Amino acid sequence: MTRPLDGVRVLDLGQIYQGGYCGLLLSYLGADVIKVEPPWGENVRTRSEDGYPPQFQYLNASKRGITLDLKSSDGRAALERLVEKADVLLENFATGKMAELGVGYERLREVNPELVYAHGSGYGDSGPYAEYPAMDLTVQAMSGVMETTGFPEGPPVKAGPAVCDFVGATHLAVGIVGALFRRATTGEGDYVEVGMFDCMYPTLASPVSAWVAERDAPPRTGNRHSGLSIAPYNAYEVEDGHVAIICIAERHWESLAEVMGREDLIGREGWGSKVERARRIDEVDAIVETWLDGRTKTEVVETLLEANVPCAPVRTVGEIVDDPHLRERGMLHDLPNPGEGRESTPVPGMPIGFGGSEPPEVTRAPSLGEHTEEVLTEVAGYTPEEVDRLEGTGSGSSPPRE
């Protein structure tokens, strides 16, 4: 059974999370993804002294790995020979960096007019912020994510996960697939660019809607709805932790009221609609908290799920990485961890399923330069002697000082 991108070859020059996850998605879609690193390794490798941090395994599974020094003429020549036989090149260096090296889109499209060149960045290729240095933290700050995270009486707080990196990576992968789809009709390559900053604006639907409606909502609402337009909507404290409860539809609220023994609230004046309950958000939360007093997470969740009320326990990372649902869905793959720490890394699987193909096999991330000879001889037509010469001119173990 084929996968959607079987036969597609991707040169993945991505780094850290945005580039790494984009390449991982493409590999799971069936592409032959070749991870191209400098001889000293991509940036995320520096997060451990041995060069094998769990993050690298986590985001670079199911790829082949080579090293090229793009600061050398031999390294750039090797990249161009690979581009001749590639369908996609993706990178998330600072805007213009690849052009400075002499292997930007304008040059590589001359080498292969059918190439889909994908560039991920913090702020995109144009606009006042285009040259700003950007990482997930700074984009969270600029995009409103931090300002809308936290509690009203507290300071802005970053979201725990690297949301901007991964939202940007997913958009970049969608752009690549779209460009490949169009190429199938036109025969022409394309340039795809995605700025994380742009990708985050759509996520502000609730706080922006509150602003448009001129609703008096604080910028940070803690675990309440970010527009304060739904109640109950919170992470409520119970005997052994917290439980998230939300009532979107009227049937959810009516079921919750029955479970709490507060049938008197159903249809009651001032409580009969979502808008009315949102105006009484403090009262609603107080009623829910009274009912939860003395109950455990398991007790509450089992009771509410039986009543079809949306809820979930607030869980730890340790609980998530051994979650039975994620395991059954093929989202957890325990691959050997070559670095310090636990014996294995729970690498994510493919979150998109296709009825016409089997889930992808998830294999370990490559060691630094593991497939250099294999890829250069197989794809670029190098002789063993040429590979030896190339590796001899670009075998540095640490990045050059800028």
Residue from 87, 165, 190, 198 carrying the catalytic annotation: 165
Is 165 annotated as catalytic?
yes
The structure tokens listed for 110 are 């001359």
**Of 95, 91, 20, nearest in space to 58 by CA:** 20
| Helix orientation angle between 163-186 and 18-28, rounded to the nearest 10 degrees | 50
| Helix orientation angle between 297-306 and 250-259, rounded to the nearest 10 degrees | 130
Alpha-carbon distance 215 to 232, whole Å? 18
Alpha-carbon distance 200 to 204, whole Å? 7
Element (DSSP H or E) covering residue 179: helix 163-186
The structure tokens listed for 44 are 């995320």
* DSSP string for residues in 109-171: HHH-TT-EEEEEESS-SSSTTTTS---HHHHHHHHTTTTTSS-TTS-----SS-HHHHHHHHH
**Of 124, 84, 120, 114, nearest in space to 180 by CA:** 114
**Helices (H) then strands (E): counts for the chain:** 17, 11
Alpha-carbon distance 26 to 6, whole Å? 10
The structure tokens listed for 329 are 């869905």
Rounded (to 5) percent helix, strand, coil in the chain: 40, 15, 45
Alpha-carbon distance 77 to 390, whole Å? 10
Alpha-carbon distance 290 to 286, whole Å? 6
The structure tokens listed for 176 are 């690549």
Please calculate the CA angle 330-334-336 and round it to the nearest 5 degrees.
150
- For the annotated catalytic residues, the residue numbers are 165
